[in-house]
Amino acid sequence: MMEKAGGIFLLFLQRNGIVAVVILAVLAVRMFLRKCPKKYSYGLWGIVGIRMIFDLPIASRFSLFNLVRLVKRKSQLTKIVYRTGLPGMHAQPVTKQVTQAAAGPHVTDQATHTAAGLTTALTTSQKICALLFLVWLTGMLLFLAYGIYSYIKCRKMVQTAVLLTSAKQTEGSIRRKVTIWECDRIPSPFVLGIFRPQIYIPFRMEKKEQQYILAHESWHIRRYDPLWKMVAFVLLAVYWWNPFAWIAFFYMTRDMEMSCDEAVLAQFGNEIKQGYSASLLSFAMERHPYSFAPVAFGEGDAGRRIKNVLNFKKPHTWVAAIATLLIVIVAVSCLTNQKPSGIKTVNPTETVESTQKPVQENMVDAKTEQSIGEWAQAFCDRDAAKIMKMTTEEAQADLEKAQLLWVDGDTPSFGWSSPWPWGAFGDFFGGTGKEMNGYWLHEINPEVQTAEILYYAETSDPHVSVWIENIHYTQKNGKFQITKEEINQFADSLDAKTDGISSVDEFDTAYAQGINDSQMDYRVNGMGKMLNKNMTAAGVLTEPTEAARQLLNLSSDEKFVSVEKDSESEDQTKVGLQITFLKSGEKRYICMIQPWGKNGIWIPAEGNETK
């Protein structure tokens, strides 16, 4: 219960940030429209209200959040990445930004203590979030209770009102019966009621003054302002501790009143400006005693309203057209989400929702982590018996379809000779390389029981290619089984011509941990010197753009991927390259180096970067 409460609060915080950005955008546009009729500024607040209520799953290149970047790719708060490579461990939970520590005899104990400390920290954070959730919920309920109290108080205040007249307001095909009441206990005219609105005015108003004040209140009814103000109040109650929500409510109320003032002036003409302004001044209230229910004539900063009335002029048609177009642009930019940068679209609240699970669910229990690591190791070891034991019949069918598994009688076989993921470089290359596993547990999602594993397959060139495996798993009665398996092998060797990474999605996943100190770093994986010796003799990999295409397993088809020089160091030993994925137009930037001299091969050193 505590974890769920804390999770709801985190989700609420994320939405508050998004709403604040939208409010700031509307305030900026409102400044631009300050000399336009206030009905356009009033309309802008509808965009804020929609964003407060709904989270529309629509991505657009015109979204405001493409600039703000509130929604980060695979948020650090919510994605726990399981990185392998430490002896004696299948996986270690770290974030993508953490550099893996050097291995040592004490690493298992250290990792255990780190995980325990992280669990304790997260548990404490959850308690704090749960407490803040209770504070927020209490404030919201008190706020709503105050609104209900104000409404009841207002109703009691007008119990002695006397019926003045009854009329019908018509707007298009909508007919609404409106009653007008006089009351000696109210300081200012207002509309009360949403579905059966009633206008209340003080006694002894002059007939001329009464005419345009009733017109003002009638415009509120025609535009359903009492309903919109009630919705705004409820939203303010929900977002009560967001200062931007209070600012939005204040300016929305002012724009609502000013737009009605302008509608009355357009109806009666400029000759009523002086009398109308005098009425505003006389009914101005420093503090409204019933701020929730009524839409009152004296609300909305009377001083500015008077100034707006005196300066009001009917706008030109082109002004209305530009203002309308601007509102449409703001709506599109504020109501859509960030366009993915070659990444799956992430809903602004999706990543936060993943933090709502208890620590033991979100961090993956040790047994699940171990089981997935055992699966990946069995894959690298071509351990057919273990593969069969850990898979359902459906998953075995997937493996047979991918020509990874063969069953001849009672003797299963798995995998092939080359290319294939290795066990550890230290063993494979006679201790010449840094010890690394041939797999990396990229992501584990315990909520839907899926995992993504990267395998690093080696050929005798030598050459490393990346395979991406997606698995679905179940755990029943302590038994772990793979239920579905899919693998993408991309390019397998230096002479691959038809395969290869052809989209920014594939590139970002394949090199999610970068190049430096990873299995793709030919300086530390034990393959570099051998590759340099073999390839320089053959005249291959001596040009940086072609070397990048081959060593990063990019598609050789230039209709999909182009590789161009972007920069070069003064000593010409470093070259910056721009990789463009032509289908989406998105770019990635890498650095190529010559660690074995000017006549040696070029290898990628830093990758998966964007400018």
Question: Which of the residue ranges 225-229, 342-346, 404-408 would you say has the lowest mean pLDDT?
Answer: 342-346
Among 41-45, 66-70, 252-256, 306-310, the least confident range:
66-70
Q: How confident is the model at residue 337 (pLDDT cuts 50, 70, 90)?
A: confident
pLDDT at position 43, please?
Answer: 93
pLDDT in tens, 27-55: 999 999 988 899 999 999 999 999 999 87
> Which among 33, 52, 74 is positioned nearest to 334, based on CA atoms?
52
The predicted structure's pLDDT at residue 496: 41
SS3 at position 416: coil
Per residue in 459-495, pLDDT tens? 877 888 899 999 999 988 778 999 999 988 865 444 4
pLDDT-wise least confident of 82-91, 101-110, 164-173:
82-91
Q: Which of 119-123, 195-199, 587-591 has the lowest mean pLDDT?
A: 119-123
From CA 65, how far away is CA 94, in angstroms rounded?
Answer: 27
Q: How far apart are CA 481 and CA 392, in angstroms?
A: 7
Of 190, 153, 146, give the one whose Cα is nearest residue 294. 190
pLDDT band at 184 (very low <50, low <70, confident <90, very high): confident
Which tops the pLDDT comparison, 581 or 108? 581
Per the model's pLDDT, the better-predicted residue between 111 and 318 turns out to be: 318
pLDDT score for 47: 95
- Gap between the Cα atoms of 9 and 137, Å rounded: 9
Contact 491, 501 (CB under 8 A): yes
Integer Cα distance of 195 and 174 in angstroms: 13
Residue 364 has a pLDDT of 57
Amino acid in position 348: P
Question: Which sequence spans correspond to the domains of the chain?
Answer: 364-489, 511-611
Three-class secondary structure assignment of 164-203: EEEEEEEECCEEEEEEEEEECCCCCCEEECCCCCEEEEEC
Q: Select, from the ranges 6-10, 497-501, 546-550, 606-610, the one with the highest average predicted confidence (pLDDT).
A: 546-550
Beta bridge partners of 486: 470
Fold adopted by 364-489: Nuclear Transport Factor 2; Chain: A, (3.10.450)
Please, which pLDDT band fits residue 527 given cuts at 50, 70 and 90? confident
Query: Does the pLDDT value for residue 374 go beyond 70?
Result: yes
pLDDT in tens, 558-570: 889 999 998 888 8
Structure tokens given for 408:
């001849």
DSSP string, 344-408: ----TTHHHHGGGS-HHHHT--HHHHHHHHHHHHHHHHT-HHHHHHTB-HHHHHHHHHTT-EEEE
- Of the ranges 406-420, 445-459, 501-515, 571-585, which one carries the lowest mean pLDDT score? 406-420
393 vs 430, residue with greater confidence = 393
CB atoms within 10 A of CB 588: 21
CB neighbour list of residue 216: distance below 8 Å, 6 or more residues apart: 189, 260, 261, 263, 264, 297
Mean pLDDT of 282-309: 65
Least confident of 152-156, 347-351, 370-374, 423-427: 347-351
Give the Cα separation of 220 and 202 in Å (integer).
18
For residue range 249-261, list pLDDT tens digits in order.
999 999 999 999 8
Mean pLDDT of 286-298: 53
- Asked if the model's pLDDT at residue 213 lies above 60, the reply is yes
Q: What is the C-alpha R_g of the chain? A: 33
pLDDT at 362 over 50: no
Identify residue 29 by its one-letter amino acid code.
V
Q: Is the pLDDT of residue 341 over 90?
A: no
Residues 6+ apart with CB under 8 A from 123: 359
pLDDT in tens, 381-409: 888 989 999 999 999 988 888 888 988 77
Question: Looking at residue 440, what is its pLDDT?
Answer: 87
Q: What is the arithmetic mean of pLDDT over 259-272?
A: 88
Res. 4 pLDDT band, cuts 50 70 90: low
| Mean local confidence (pLDDT), 350-368 | 50
**DSSP string computed for 322-351:** HHHHHHHHHHHHHHSEEPPSSS----TTHH
Per-residue model confidence (pLDDT) at position 12: 80
Does residue 167 register a pLDDT over 60?
A: no
Quickly state the pLDDT bin for 299 (edges 50, 70, 90).
low
What does pLDDT average to over the chain?
A: 77
